[in-house]
Amino acid sequence: MESSDAPASVAAHSKDVYETWHEQHEVDATADSPWHRLVQQYLNMPRDVTGKRVLEIACGRGGFTCWLARQPHPPSGIVASDFAYAAVKRGQAYAREHKLDDISWEVGDIQALAHPDASFDTVISCETVEHVPDSRRAINELARVLKPGGRLFLTAPNYMGMLGLYRFYLRLRGRVFTEVGQPINHFLLLPRTRSWISRAGLRVEKVDAVGHYLPFPGRPPIELSFLNNPRVLMRWFALHALIVAQKL
């Protein structure tokens, strides 16, 4: 298990934290966060979605899952799973209200998925592996439930840029970094995350990232959008990283 800025005892309370968090927020119906836009950019609808069996793990309140279900040629079945019952309940109610009936909702743990090997054509996980006790175990589980030839779309923060330096600064000052109150915030680096995916038996096909931020103590960071290009170079230092990988 990699190190975390949070004390180990915090992990035992994660579920309560997430239940409270999701109870306080509405469904992100637009699914337009930077990581969702990255996944949307690289999803190949005929290959990854149309008529496929799709898992979104750590779906939150289900905004992106519902976006998938609304596509003109949607999956044959979608499983939306989250650690928090409150998140699943909100997503399920939203889907019912909007008559999105082809979604199976479940409470689940990304580190121990309750599905057989090779269950899904496509697996999507956004901004999650950095918030669980064992990130590498979670990635191995995502690979396990993929069918051969299926693809994983995984987003996770990449702290090779300025926010990584800011985390190091906070540690030197004896302060704990937290991301909007998340109890676990692993220090992930894009090359390391990519290596874990390769070691899980997947072939990395695409790597992309956006989001360069100048942090300031006591105020929200300033986004430096002009650094998003050229992407070939700057993606390795951007915060919001996407890896697309195929099961061998």
What pLDDT, on a 0 to 100 scale, did the predictor assign at position 230? 80
For 165-198, the pLDDT digits (tens) are: 999 999 999 988 888 778 899 999 999 999 999 9
16-58-163 Cα angle (round to 5): 85
Q: Please tell me the total count of domains within the chain.
A: 1
**Domain-embedded: residue 168:** no
**Domain-embedded: residue 51:** yes
CATH number of the CATH domain containing 204: 3.40.50.150
Those residues of the chain that have pLDDT short of 70 are 1-13, 21
What pLDDT, on a 0 to 100 scale, did the predictor assign at position 239? 97
**Domain-embedded: residue 233:** no
Backbone φ and ψ of 57, nearest 5°: -100, 140
Report yes or no: 184 and 14 within 8 Å, Cβ to Cβ.
yes
What pLDDT, on a 0 to 100 scale, did the predictor assign at position 233? 82
**Domain-embedded: residue 223:** no
Range of the domain at 66: 8-159+187-210+240-247
What is the model's pTM? 0.92
